Amino acid sequence: MRRLNLLYLLPALAILSCSKDSITPDTEEQLIETKELSANVEVAYPQDFGLLSDVYFAGKKITVEEIDGDYVYEGDILLPSNMITSQDVKLVYEIGEEPQEKSVGRTSGRWPNNTVYYSIDNNLSDKNRATDAIKHWESNTSLKFVQRTSQSNYIYFTTGSGCSSYVGMIGGKQNITLAPGCSTGNTIHEIGHAVGLWHEQSRVDRDKHIKINYSNIQSGREHNFKTYADSGSDGDEFTSNLDFGSIMLYSSYSFSSNGQPTIVKLDGSTFNAQRNALSAGDKTGINAMYGGSTGGTTEPTAPEYINGEYYVIYGLTVLRHNDEWWYYSRTYSMWREVELKSNNRWYYAR
């Protein structure tokens, strides 16, 4: 699961919440939104379809939607513009090679010392969503959340068109957007992204557990259903099965064009996306990423990297394998071992 590990919202929510007794969708779009609402999944720009473009991010080629200057991936994931390039750029150097002075943005991804700094926009409505979600994270994981004073790297909870977040610590101020309809559960999900989780249905081995019904997906949104393997990060996944209880999983009806399920179990049955709490699997994954056990009072320990998992570290998507780092080089069309040097640049190991 939780590869490095890195959804959506509806203005309709606000309307629906204040007129529960008069929901009579009269257009196809409203029907879709109503379904999306029942699914409780997150969308950054529920009302907009962005321009689709193929870009490079962390050494992978992926399809993103460009909306309002944001690069949106899989519905609610924002990718930092300084880590996006239109052309493949060099992220791994040969031994002895001088790195380019200028490079695409780099991030170590995880929050040092298990400590996440944050600040809440004064104008954000229902701030309890953020503080309650933080309490949930603190009582279930070894992560600590501290109100920012002068730290330069921090999460900023602010209002937006939908629910959205970046994945992992990207460096500097990074927004989690919460439209009025985003729930505490949606906020727990968005914090999941911000501490480094991607979506559960994007696991490389997800086809062993779920089936994607492409014919039911909204036109132009098919790219949201790619696996990391589709994005060029092929490899083994050694961890446990896809977790149908994960708060990071889409629902069966996400991005449906016709009210029919887009994701089903292998036996054809549908499932709900829960947005109440971190699942046992979510907690296990996070504590493996960050060290420590559940319970918030544990002393933070150094993160352990899990063989078979993908991580984005200093701008590169790397696979942990045999306690070494491996990178799939498109230049060489093969996996090569890589090492992170003290200048925080990646080099081929041999």
List interacting residues with Zn ion (CB under 5 A): 7, 76
Least gap, CB of 165 to Zn ion (angstroms): 7
* CB of residue 100 to Zn ion, shortest distance in Å: 33
**3-state DSSP assignment of residue 333:** coil
Q: N- to C-terminal Cα distance for the chain?
A: 29
Name the one residue in this structure whose structure tokens are 């570290």: 313
Report the C-alpha gap between 94 and 348 in whole angstroms.
5
Nearer to Zn ion (CB atom), residue 55 or residue 163: 163
Cα separation, 141 vs 293, whole angstroms: 7
C-beta of 170: minimal distance to Zn ion in Å? 15
**Which two tokens mark 78?**
């924002």
User: Are 200 and 209 contacting, i.e. CB atoms less than 8 angstroms apart?
Assistant: no
Strand 70-73 and strand 60-67: pairing? antiparallel
- Compare residues 110 and 199 and give the one whose CB is closer to Zn ion: 199
Burial class for 227, CB neighbours closer than 10 Å (0-12, 13-18, 19+): middle
Q: Which is nearer to Zn ion, 76 or 309 (CB)?
A: 76
**Closer Cβ to Zn ion, 202 or 292, answer by number:** 202
Residue 303 corresponds to which tokens in the numbers above? 């993160």
Say which residue the tokens 């300084």 belong to: 82
Q: Which residues contact 165 (CB under 8 A, 6 or more apart)?
A: 76, 77, 78, 174, 175, 176, 177, 190, 191, 193, 194
Give the Cα separation of 16 and 14 in Å (integer).
Answer: 5
Q: Smallest distance from the beta carbon of 101 to Zn ion, in angstroms?
A: 35
Give the DSSP H/E element, type plus range, for residue 30.
Answer: helix 28-39
Beta carbon nearer to Zn ion, 72 or 92: 72
Closest distance of CB 226 from Zn ion, Å: 14
- Provide the minimum distance between the beta carbon of 76 and Zn ion in the complex, in angstroms, as a whole number: 4
CB 164 to Zn ion: min, Å: 8
Nearest in space to 133 (alpha carbons), one of 292, 10, 250, 277: 277
Residue, CB closest to Zn ion: 7
Name the residue nearer to Zn ion (CB basis): 7 or 64. Answer: 7
Nearest to 282 by CA among 162, 207, 198: 198
Nearer to Zn ion, 92 or 210 (CB): 210
190 part of the active site: yes
Outline where 84-231 has alpha helix (H).
Answer: 128-140, 184-194
Phi-psi region of 296 (alpha: psi -120 to 50; beta: other; left: phi over 0): left
| Active-site residue, from 74, 190, 237, 309 | 190
Residues classed as catalytic? 190
